[in-house]
């Protein structure tokens, strides 16, 4: 009885062959390919026998016949599920990723970039779906072992005469509570995956600050240590005002929580953009303001990249407004940041702003932050996330609809390419029930629909940020010289009205609320 090969076996065979090719073991690779072909042929013969015994053809027999190179019949049409946000989603067949020849599977003939439109894909008479096989996959190099040692002086603030664990796992956020004998809680600001932010009064310096309370978890504690190390480096290496990054004042350990004290800023770009559209006030993100925001973020990225750092999580939530009237912003949250010399993680960046080289598993650098900047500016201008991202294959198709086909060189380098791309340039995913779903880009969307404005300089700037080949994508230093940032668009429009919290009465009417006295996470800071 010949072995039954599953799609997972094909994936493993592909990965092993790529590994042998990367190491230069050509003789071992040849032997492996020959043995693999024999296994595939045995399965092919077993399938043929089963099909002959059956009077009624099933899905797998149709798919197997379709995938043969010698077959002259056209493949059945793909069933379109839906078309939205510049992506067509279709259903394939269970065996669409199988192949009956080891040669096709191990070394497919791939000449085009990924992102084949649906109509072109339909014209392929012998699809015979197989995974795309990278020929030069990127393998992570270990970090250098000769780095100098440094130390961090962590201040532990505790109550004298008391030991043991705290009664509550989470530090209570209560108005007027004084933390570490110095920081008086005034207002709950926001929460994130591993921290909560509180507006406080620094009783020693008589100034308002932001107290970031890390959640009580070993993993979050370790991540906060990394953030403190980077904030110390950032604060000691340059002017945080000039470089548009948040300033850290203090850090300490208190009641089983790591706490980080930084300057107090305003709403993040996501919050303010949402408010600006929902309240139907004068539109804030005009071209002059987008120009100003882009320039400030690039100054911050230029500074970070000069230190050998990658932010790795640039998104509207991590760009805070310092002044609404002057359109001043700062970059925050370095909890996911890393050095170029680190063993770079394959899982960085929030999905909406994730660069294609990260998705595909290629080597990356600070230019992944540049990609995120392009997506952020488009979102601020339109109020919508630029790329459809319910799944990574769908996001890749959406990226192609905006930016064109993904270059072959990127696909060959990507460790993850085979999980998303077939050799004919289609993006696929396997859902529950072994259902294969394909995603195809819908190109030729008007620029103003994608990016909010049709200004040539602005469009050229966004296009540069969203260059698919990261090796050709400009750096922060280069983009700061872009004509879009040098052009005089005139003064920005008038300052938006002060932010007001809306409350709803029992009869459904809404009114502006007075400043809350309790720790309300939805209450805004006073405008500047």
Active site residues: 313
Phi, psi torsion values for 438, nearest 5 degrees: -110, 145
Q: Determine contact, residues 343/258, Cβ cutoff 8 Å.
A: no
Give dist(CA 191, CA 188) in Å, integer.
9
How many other C-beta atoms can be found within 10 angstroms of the C-beta atom of residue 218?
7
Closest CA to 316 of 361, 263, 353: 353
Q: Mind giving me the DSSP string for 451-514?
A: HS---HHHHHHHHHHT-SSTTTSPPHHHHTTSHHHHS------PPPPPP--EEE-TTS-EEEPP
Alpha carbon 177 to its chain centroid, in Å, reads 37
Give dist(CA 257, CA 217) in Å, integer.
9
Rg, Å, the chain Cα set: 27
* DSSP H or E run through 427: strand 427-430
- Own/partner contacts of 337-340, CB < 8 Å, gap of 24 or more, are 337/226, 337/227, 337/230, 337/304, 337/309, 337/310, 337/311, 337/312, 337/313, 338/309, 338/310, 338/312, 339/308, 339/309, 339/310, 340/308, 340/309, 340/310, 340/365, 340/366
Give dist(CA 495, CA 353) in Å, integer.
28
Q: Determine contact, residues 262/248, Cβ cutoff 8 Å.
A: yes
Beta strands in 236-308 (DSSP E): 248-254, 257-263
Task: Tell me if residue 411 falls in helix, strand or coil.
Answer: helix
CA neighbours closer than 13 Å in the CB half-sphere of residue 212: 27
């Amino acid at each position: 009885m010949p072995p039954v090969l599953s799609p997972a076996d094909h994936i493993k065979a592909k990965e092993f062959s790529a590994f042998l090719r990367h190491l230069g073991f050509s003789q071992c690779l040849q032997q492996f390919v020959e043995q693999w072909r024999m296994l595939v042929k045995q399965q092919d013969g077993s399938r043929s026998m089963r099909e002959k015994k059956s009077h009624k053809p099933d899905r797998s027999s149709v798919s197997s016949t379709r995938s043969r190179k010698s077959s002259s019949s056209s493949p059945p049409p793909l069933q379109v599920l839906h078309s939205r946000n510049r992506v067509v989603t279709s259903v394939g067949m269970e065996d669409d990723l199988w192949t009956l020849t080891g040669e096709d599977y191990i070394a497919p003939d791939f000449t085009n970039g990924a992102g084949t439109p649906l109509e072109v894909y339909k014209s392929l008479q012998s699809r015979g779906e197989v995974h795309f096989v990278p020929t030069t996959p990127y393998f992570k190099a270990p970090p250098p072992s000769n780095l100098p040692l440094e130390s961090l002086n962590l201040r532990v603030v505790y109550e004298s005469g008391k030991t043991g664990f705290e009664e509550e796992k989470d530090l209570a956020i209560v108005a007027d509570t004084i933390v570490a004998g110095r920081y008086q809680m005034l207002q709950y600001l926001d929460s994130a995956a591993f921290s909560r932010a509180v507006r406080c009064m620094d009783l020693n310096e008589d100034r308002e600050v932001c107290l970031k309370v890390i959640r009580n978890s070993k993993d979050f504690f370790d991540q906060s240590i990394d953030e403190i190390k980077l904030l110390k480096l950032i604060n000691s290496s340059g002017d945080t005002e000039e470089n548009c990054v948040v300033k850290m004042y203090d850090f300490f350990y208190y009641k089983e929580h790591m706490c980080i004290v930084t300057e107090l800023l305003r709403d993040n770009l996501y919050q303010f953009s949402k408010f600006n559209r929902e309240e139907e006030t004068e539109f804030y993100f005009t071209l002059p303001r987008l120009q100003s925001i882009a320039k400030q973020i690039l100054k911050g990225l230029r500074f970070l990249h000069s230190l050998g750092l990658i932010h790795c999580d640039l998104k509207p939530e991590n760009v805070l407004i310092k002044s609404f009237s002057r359109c001043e912003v700062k970059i925050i949250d370095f909890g996911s940041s890393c050095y170029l010399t680190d063993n770079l993680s394959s899982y960085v960046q929030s999905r909406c702003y994730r660069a294609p080289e990260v998705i595909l598993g290629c080597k990356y650098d600070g230019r992944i932050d540049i990609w995120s900047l392009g997506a952020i500016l488009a979102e601020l201008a339109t109020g919508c996330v630029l790329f459809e991202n319910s799944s990574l294959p769908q996001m890749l198709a959406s990226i192609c609809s905006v930016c064109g086909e993904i270059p072959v060189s990127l696909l060959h380098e990507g460790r993850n390419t085979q999980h998303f791309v077939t050799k004919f340039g289609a993006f696929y995913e396997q859902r529950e029930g072994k259902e294969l779903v394909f995603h195809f880009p819908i190109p030729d969307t008007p620029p103003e629909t994608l990016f909010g404005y049709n200004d040539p300089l602005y469009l050229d700037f966004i296009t540069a940020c969203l260059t698919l080949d990261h090796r050709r994508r400009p750096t922060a230093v280069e983009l700061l010289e872009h004509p879009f940032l040098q052009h005089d668009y005139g003064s920005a429009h008038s300052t938006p009205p002060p932010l007001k919290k809306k409350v709803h009465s029992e009869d459904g009417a809404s009114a502006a609320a007075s400043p809350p006295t309790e720790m309300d996470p939805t209450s805004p800071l006073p405008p500047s």
